Amino acid sequence: MTLLPVNPATDRPVERESLVVMQLLPALESGGVERGTIEISAALIAAGHKAIVVSGGGRMVAELEALGAEHITLPIGKKSLSSLRYIAILRRLMQEKQVDIVHLRSRLPAWLGYLAWKKLDPATRPRLVTTVHGPYTPNFYSAVMLKGERIIAVSGMIVAYIRRHYPWVDPAKITRIYRGVDPVAFSPEYQPESAWLTRWQTEFPQTVGKWTINLPGRITRWKGQLDLLQIVARLKAEGIPVHALIVGGAHPRKQQFLQEIEAEISRRNLTQDVTLVGQRSDLKDIMAISDVVLSLSTEPEAFGRVSLEALSLGRPVLGYAHGGVGEQLAAMYPAGAITLGDLDGAVETLKRWYRDGAPEVPAARPFTLKAMQDQTLAIYREISAER
């Protein structure tokens, strides 16, 4: 496409020909998929395109609409046979909105969107893009995420997953586009406001003056909370004034595991050394005041946005070197990479970092929000031009 001069308000080129891009996902409550959807919508609007998002709604809708994007509320994430009626509705929307690109981001909405798209005239229907956000259980249901005319994989791990489990997919269709964060919003210079810090110390006085390690992530067994408790017990036994924060909420179905964590904290006599913070909207501030952020997921993360945010804030990250987090550590902070399940290595590394200080996080930021946005919009332009 021919480009006009850069828009000074957005520092992005304004494109002469605009696209209409419709993204489909279950809801806009919270999470990495939801955040990525909003970030791509922002990039589309900044470049002069139209962004439409179809979802069941949620608290992030207001943020999306404030950007100038259009939100259409349909409960396309509801696992029910009744959801099949949305196929015809989606087909009509694609036609009425004159959609150029349909971008599918989650399996059930992807099936509804794909079946709606497939019945349209191949000569005039939108182009189809999918993003594989995780290593879904390989089966017929998950295979819908590989039906895109172009397929985005969020890490090298996901590229390998696709090639291993879906060898029939043309490798030329797959593009690895890492998730990214804004290095200005997540800068090593960032400091929480003094009012926030006062509130934090009032709410959690047990953390004041302690060497703070932080494990963000929802309460679920594979996120590694039990590994953290073993690490804290051993650091405490070494006389290190450590305090661990477990930041994340527990789904109602995970209450039993939450109780298991609480019982383990009590059994190990760590009540004054570990704080279950719960779900928070100020994780950025909490990471900024943490001495170390950990990633102890026992199953590989497809990418791991939180660890990248911590590194961008200049905070040392200690993590199991597998999946997307392993790719981040290899590129940005190899000093923080340990073998999966190596609690001895974790304890020894943390002891050394407490004693000598952790190595500084390098200034290079290879995983940026702008790179992710630019690469995604490039796919939209390329596939649209192939018509």
**pTM for this prediction:** 0.88
**Same domain for 379 and 255?**
no
Residue 185 lies in a domain: no
Mean pLDDT of 260-269: 97
Residue 187 lies in a domain: no
- What are the residues facing 127 on neighbouring strands? 101
Residue with tokens 């489909």: 24
The CATH number of the domain where 61 resides is what?
A: 3.40.50.2000
Same domain, 286 and 333: yes
> What proportion of the chain, given as a percentage, has pLDDT over 90?
90
Distance CA 363, CA 116 (A): 46
Flag whether 287 is in a domain. yes
Residue 236 lies in a domain: yes
Query: pLDDT tens, 96-115?
Result: 999 999 999 999 999 999 99
Q: What is the 3-state secondary structure (H, E, C) of the chain?
A: CCEEEEECCCCEEEECCCCEEEEECCCCCCCHHHHHHHHHHHHHHHCCCEEEEEECCCCCHHHHHHCCCEEEECCCCCCCHHHHHHHHHHHHHHHHCCCCEEEECCHHHHHHHHHHHHCCCCCCCCEEEEEECCCCCCCCCHHHHHCCCEEEECCHHHHHHHHHHCCCCCHHHEEECCCCECCCCCCCCCCCCHHHHHHHHHHCHHHCCCEEEEEECCCCHHHCHHHHHHHHHHHHHCCCCEEEEEECCCCHHHHHHHHHHHHHHHHCCCCCCEEEEECCCCHHHHHHCCCEEEECCCCCCCCCHHHHHHHHCCCCEEEECCHHHHHHHHHHCHHHEECCCCHHHHHHHHHHHHHHCCCCCCCCCCCEHHHHHHHHHHHHHHHHHCC
Model pLDDT, residue 46: 97
Residue range of the domain that includes 332? 194-356
Q: Are residues 225 and 163 both part of a single domain?
A: no
Specify if 186 maps to a domain.
no
CA-to-CA distance for 88 and 93, rounded, in angstroms?
A: 9
Hey, what long-range contacts does 339-347 have (CB within 8 A, 24 or more apart)?
Answer: 340/298, 341/227, 341/298, 343/227, 343/230, 343/231, 343/234, 346/227, 346/231, 346/296, 346/318, 347/231, 347/234, 347/235, 347/238
Query: Has residue 4 got a pLDDT over 60?
Result: no
Q: What is the mean pLDDT of the chain?
A: 94
* 188 is a domain residue: no
pLDDT score of 9 more than 80: no
One domain, residues 198 and 347: yes
Number of domains in the chain: 2
Judgement on whether residues 115 and 206 belong to the same structural domain of the protein: no
Return the closest-CA partner of residue 247 out of 209, 208, 210, 289: 289
Establish if 20 belongs to a structural domain: yes
Shared-domain flag, residues 201 and 304: yes
pLDDT at 7: 52
Q: Are residues 149 and 236 in the same domain?
A: no
pLDDT band at 129 (very low <50, low <70, confident <90, very high): very high
Does 361 fall in a domain? no
Same domain membership, residue 310 and residue 257:
yes
88 and 235 in a single domain? The answer is no
The pLDDT of residue 357 is: 96
pLDDT band at 251 (very low <50, low <70, confident <90, very high): confident
Q: What number is the average pLDDT over the span 190-209?
A: 96
